[in-house]
Amino acid sequence: MTVMQHVWIVLGVLFVLLNIGAGLIWVERRMLALWQDRLGPNRAGPLGILIVLADTLKLFFKEDWVPPFADKWVFIIAPAIVVASVLMSFVVIPFAPGIVVADLNVGLLFFLAMSSIGVYSIVLGGWASNNKYALLGALRGASQMIAYEVFMGLSLMGVVMMTGSFKLTDIVEAQRDMWFFIKQPIGLVIFFIAGIAETHRLPFDIPEAESELIAGYHAEYSGMKFGMFFIGEYLGITLISAMTATIFFGGWLGPEFLPGWVWFFTKTFAFILFFILLRASLPRPRYDQLMEYGWKILLPLVLANVMITGAVLLWLKG
Amino acid sequence: MPGSDVNNSVLWPLLLYAAVVAFLIIAILALSYILGQHHQDKATDQPYEGGIEQTGSARLRFSAQFYLVAMLFVIFDVEAVFIMLWALGFYELGWAGYIGVSVFIVQLVVVLIYEWGIGALDFGPDEKKIMRAYRRKIKNQSV
**Set of chain A residues whose Cβ sits within 8 Å of the Cβ of B112:** 295, 299-300
When pLDDT is cut at 50, 70 and 90, the band that residue A161 belongs to is: confident
Distance CA A5, CA A296 (A): 48
Distance CA A238, CA A268 (A): 7
| pLDDT above 50 for A50 | yes
- Per-residue pLDDT reduced to its tens digit, A212-252: 777 778 888 888 888 888 888 899 999 999 999 999 988 88
**Set of chain A residues whose Cβ sits within 8 Å of the Cβ of B25:** 80, 83-84, 228
Q: Kindly determine whether residue A154 and residue B73, on different chains, have CB atoms separated by under 8 Å.
A: no
The interface pTM score, or ipTM, of the predicted complex is 0.83
Range A139-152 average pLDDT: 84
Nearest C-alpha neighbor of A39 from the set A23, A31, A53: A31
Distance CA A100, CA A279 (A): 31
Name the minimum distance, in Å, from the CA of B133 to any CA of chain A. Answer: 20
Task: Compare CB distances from B69 to A88, A147, A306 and report the shortest one's residue.
Answer: A147
Q: What is the structure's pLDDT at A273?
A: 92
Q: What is the structure's pLDDT at B8?
A: 56
| Concatenated DSSP letters of B73-136 | HHHHHHHHHHHHHHHHTHHHHHHHHHHHHHHHHHHHHHHHHHHHHHTTT--S--HHHHHHHHHH
- Per-residue pLDDT reduced to its tens digit, B34-91: 888 877 777 777 777 777 777 777 777 776 666 777 777 787 888 888 888 888 888 8
Q: Kindly determine whether residue A225 and residue B88, on different chains, have CB atoms separated by under 8 Å.
A: no
User: Mean pLDDT across chain B, nearest whole number?
Assistant: 79
Q: Kindly determine whether residue B13 and residue A10, on different chains, have CB atoms separated by under 8 Å.
A: yes
Q: What is the structure's pLDDT at B63?
A: 67
Q: Kindly determine whether residue B48 and residue A219, on different chains, have CB atoms separated by under 8 Å.
A: yes
Q: Kindly determine whether residue B90 and residue A103, on different chains, have CB atoms separated by under 8 Å.
A: no
Peptide bond into A79 cis (omega under 30): no
User: Mean pLDDT across chain A, nearest whole number?
Assistant: 86
Q: What is the structure's pLDDT at B85?
A: 86
**Set of chain A residues whose Cβ sits within 8 Å of the Cβ of B62:** 135, 139
Distance CA A267, CA A110 (A): 22
- Which residues neighbour A25 within 8 Å (Cβ) at sequence distance 6 or greater? A51, A52, A55, A234
Rounded percentage of chain B residues whose pLDDT exceeds 90: 3
* Amino acid, single-letter form, for residue B86: W
Distance CA A229, CA A77 (A): 11
| pLDDT above 80 for B104 | yes
| pLDDT above 50 for B142 | yes
B119 by Cβ neighbours in 10 Å (0-12 / 13-18 / 19+) ranks as exposed
Range A51-68 average pLDDT: 85
The domains of chain B are located at: 12-39+65-142
Task: Compare CB distances from B14 to A102, A105, A163 and report the shortest one's residue.
Answer: A102
Rounded percentage of chain A residues whose pLDDT exceeds 90: 11
| pLDDT above 60 for B7 | no
Q: Decide yes or no: CATH 3.40.50.720 for domain B12-39+65-142.
A: no
| pLDDT above 50 for B3 | no
When pLDDT is cut at 50, 70 and 90, the band that residue B143 belongs to is: low
Q: What is the structure's pLDDT at B1?
A: 42
Q: Which residue of A has its CA nearest to B54?
A: A131
Q: Kindly determine whether residue A146 and residue B69, on different chains, have CB atoms separated by under 8 Å.
A: yes
- B66-88 vs A132-155: helix crossing angle, rounded to 10: 20
Q: What is the structure's pLDDT at A240?
A: 92
- Per-residue pLDDT reduced to its tens digit, A198-215: 888 878 887 777 777 777
Distance CA A146, CA B31 (A): 33
**Set of chain A residues whose Cβ sits within 8 Å of the Cβ of B87:** 157-158, 160-161, 306
Range A34-60 average pLDDT: 86
Q: Kindly determine whether residue A295 and residue B28, on different chains, have CB atoms separated by under 8 Å.
A: no
- Please provide residue A245's backbone torsions phi and psi, each rounded to the nearest 5 degrees: -65, -40
Q: Three-state DSSP class for A96? A: strand
Range A294-311 average pLDDT: 89
When pLDDT is cut at 50, 70 and 90, the band that residue B4 belongs to is: very low
Its sign, for the CA torsion A269, A275, A280, A281, is positive
| More confident position, A191 or B45 | A191
Task: Compare CB distances from B36 to A62, A101, A130 and report the shortest one's residue.
Answer: A62
Distance CA A141, CA A134 (A): 10
Distance CA B24, CA B18 (A): 10
Q: Kindly determine whether residue A67 and residue B36, on different chains, have CB atoms separated by under 8 Å.
A: no
